[in-house]
Amino acid sequence: MDTVYYNAEKCIAGRLASAAAKELLKGRKVTIVNAEKAVISGDQAATIAHFREKTSRGDPYHGPFYPRMPDRMLRRMVRGMVPRGKPSGQAAFRRLQVYLAVPQEFEGKPFKSTKQIQEQAKAISLELLCRRLK
């Protein structure tokens, strides 16, 4: 089984999640590293307000439960792009691995990257977003 490695540094999180979901549905394993360095484009204050509203919604015992860690956030984004109700979608989601940094076992692997964001563009990294949510 083929494994596709993605480096999330300066990549737009939604585009990365979409590319990963396509690879998963093709039957490949997907490993994403540097999840905390992925970015969400747009106004920082609006993005923080949007995610803060999501995480504070509902009951802490009965949900809905939203992640507050960058690797879990990116994993949840991919989860929304695969058909979880079908066995093929469930099997695809099990083939996904997301890491905060680059583990030693993946150093030296050929990493793919999606379209990267410009430095001066309005964006917030998942690491900064998660810090602001706490």
pLDDT at residue 37 in the model: 94
Q: Render the burial of 11-30: b for 16+ CB within 10 Å, e for the rest.
A: bbbbebbbbbbebbbeeebb
Query: For position 120, what pLDDT does the model report?
Result: 61
Q: Please, what is the Cα angle at 50 between 47 and 56, to 5 degrees?
A: 135
User: 75, 21 in Cβ contact below 8 A?
Assistant: no
Mean pLDDT by 10-residue block, N- to C-terminus, for the chain (134 residues)? Answer: 91 94 96 95 94 89 91 96 95 97 91 76 91 88
Q: CA 51, CA 68: separation in Å to the nearest integer?
A: 9
The C-alpha atoms of residue 9 and residue 38 are separated, in whole angstroms, by 5
pLDDT for position 118: 66
Q: Which two tokens stand for residue 32?
A: 């994403």
Say what the pLDDT of residue 1 is: 73
CATH (one of 3.90.1180.10, 3.30.450.40, 3.40.228.10, 3.40.50.2300) for 3-133? 3.90.1180.10
The SS3 call for residue 27 is coil
The pTM is what?
0.90
